[in-house]
Structure 1
Amino acid sequence: MSHQALSELHIIPQGQSINSAYYIDQILAKTCMEAVHRCRSNGSVLERPMLENMSEFIFMQDGAPAHTANATQKLCRDHLNAFWRKVECPGNSPDLNTIENLWEIVKEKVNEEGQITRREQLIETVKSAWGDISPSILENLVATCQNV
């Protein structure tokens, strides 16, 4: 996420474990890098560039093993201008980590849909809630974090 855009969500197939190879090939290379390199100047939060000025871009991950694996760290150092390792990232406090607050907003939207009984229904509902996030919500989340 950025203050103006989101990457597409990547849905992990049932039974798939997330090791560094899967994370690099399926998530970083296909989902994150596509979002980072978008050029379109308008559209939904899933179509806009992550940032207008890529010199302001900082890529952060949490401490999941696939994120901290040597191969992942090397790829990020080699291909991303500004990359924060786990030790440089804010904690999981929602005040310091805007994605936690974004997930709460998505969760509220999903809960408004009522009882969801099938995995496919849940996936579509989460994707819809994610894609419906407005740019103003992203701007407010990032601005609030910067003021902490």
Structure 2
Amino acid sequence: MGKKGDLSDFERGMIVGARRAALSISQSAQLLGFSRTTISRVYKEWCAKGKTSSMRESCGRKCLVDARGQRRMGRLIQADRRATLTELTTRYNRGMQQSICEATTRTTLRRMGYNSRRPHRVPLITTTNRKKRLQFARAHQYWTVEDWKNVAWSDESQFLLRHSNGRVRIWRKQNENMDPSCLVTTVQARGAGVVVWGMFSWHTLGPLVPIGHRLNTTVYLSIVSDHVHPFMTTMYPSSDGYFQQDNAPCHKARIISNWFLEHDNEFTVLKWPPQSPDLNPIEHLWDVVERELRTLDVHPTNFHQLQDAILSIWAKISKECFQHLVESMPRRIKAVLKAKGRQTPY
């Protein structure tokens, strides 16, 4: 058996134990899987020095960044997650007698468990919104999957013809993906592109409605009356359904609220906490559509082609996909409770 590395104290102890049990060198080698030379050497060292720990001195070049230097490097990372390798090296070398190069910085960071990653994009949650998210989670913490099956989820999303690759990178460890210093907050905003509105429930995918470049109160009222109403009355004829919408300004307009009040005997509008896309499973369906758009052999070159591609992808989303998302709701609620209303990994 070839040598894989220095033996551990436990392995050396097994060798000594086998020899003291009157096993021959060959028998010990066959039993433990080590070479005869190794068995002989370890047992001789034990007989001569009475130790089973490795006596070999450390080899190789001495590390330029010791434990104290790693603590210094860690403080630099905590102070600025977005610092480049060059910036970290420059800051580390300030006031140090022995300077290091960028290659050493990279090696040290990897040894410490840091890697360059793109930060998670999460909604900006104020203190007030955090309390409302926590209240919603507490009010629904005992809802089962069967309860969530009665909810119809809705949202609008924007898809662009071209995407920017200019994204920041940060230094973080594997378990720091949701650390506040490793996040990039976002706010809802619209720009040039195709905007669509969609809805679904555990039972089926609902309609996907192209709405051009902007959703206003007039357009949303027609969507509610032409699409939401027939969907809810068909899926939930017993009037036990809940309709979910976020807190976009056009959703909260007086004319929209009055329309829902006129139909409150047919379904209930779920009171939704602000800035909570992590609680809305339809956000993951938008991700599915986005990924499929990026993998098309022929990419859309105009808004009409983009709209047709979005509608085609939406119609092909599997039932298992959106049902699995609804079934994740109890876990999402627990995540919000655990985060005390802050951002969650969803």
TM-score by length of 2: 0.35
SS at the partner of 2:276? Answer: coil
Kindly state the Cα deviation for residue 37 of structure 1 after the two structures are TM-superposed: 3.3
Matched, 1:97 2:280: yes
SS at the partner of 1:7? Answer: strand
User: Which residue of 1 is the match for residue 206 of structure 2?
Assistant: 7
2:217–2:251 CA contact under 8 A, matched in 1? yes
SS at the partner of 1:8? Answer: strand
1:77–1:83 CA contact under 8 A, matched in 2? no
1:3–1:142 CA contact under 8 A, matched in 2? yes
1:60–1:84 CA contact under 8 A, matched in 2? yes
In the aligned structure 2, how far is the partner of 1:116 from the partner of 1:71? 37
Q: 1:58 aligns with which of 234, 242, 253?
A: 242
Matched, 1:24 2:24: no
SS at the partner of 2:277? Answer: coil
**Which one-letter code corresponds to 1:21 in the other structure?**
T
- 1:5-54 CA-to-partner distances (Å, cap 9, x unmatched) read 1221111135xx433222112x111122232234xxxxxxxxxx4x5865
In the aligned structure 2, how far is the partner of 1:33 from the partner of 1:23? 12
User: Structure 1: 5+ residue runs without aligned partners?
Assistant: 39-48
More helix as a share of residues: 1
Structure number with greater CO (CA < 8 Å, separation at least 6) is 1
In the aligned structure 2, how far is the partner of 1:140 from the partner of 1:85? 23
**Which one-letter code corresponds to 1:83 in the other structure?**
V
Matched, 1:137 2:321: yes
More strand as a share of residues: 2
2:202–2:326 CA contact under 8 A, matched in 1? yes
**Which one-letter code corresponds to 1:91 in the other structure?**
S
In the aligned structure 2, how far is the partner of 1:76 from the partner of 1:137? 29
**Which one-letter code corresponds to 1:107 in the other structure?**
E
Q: Which has the larger radius of gyration?
A: 2
1:6–1:35 CA contact under 8 A, matched in 2? no
**Which one-letter code corresponds to 2:215 in the other structure?**
I
Matched, 1:108 2:291: yes
Matched, 1:35 2:234: no
**Which one-letter code corresponds to 2:270 in the other structure?**
W
User: Which residue of 2 is the match for residue 43 of structure 1?
Assistant: none
Q: 1:77 aligns with which of 261, 277, 295?
A: 261
- 1:113-138 CA-to-partner distances (Å, cap 9, x unmatched) read 14221111111110011111111111
Aligned residues, how many?
130
1:90–1:97 CA contact under 8 A, matched in 2? no
State the percentage of identical aligned residues: 24
User: Structure 2: 5+ residue runs without aligned partners?
Assistant: 1-199, 333-346
Q: 1:147 aligns with which of 304, 314, 331?
A: 331
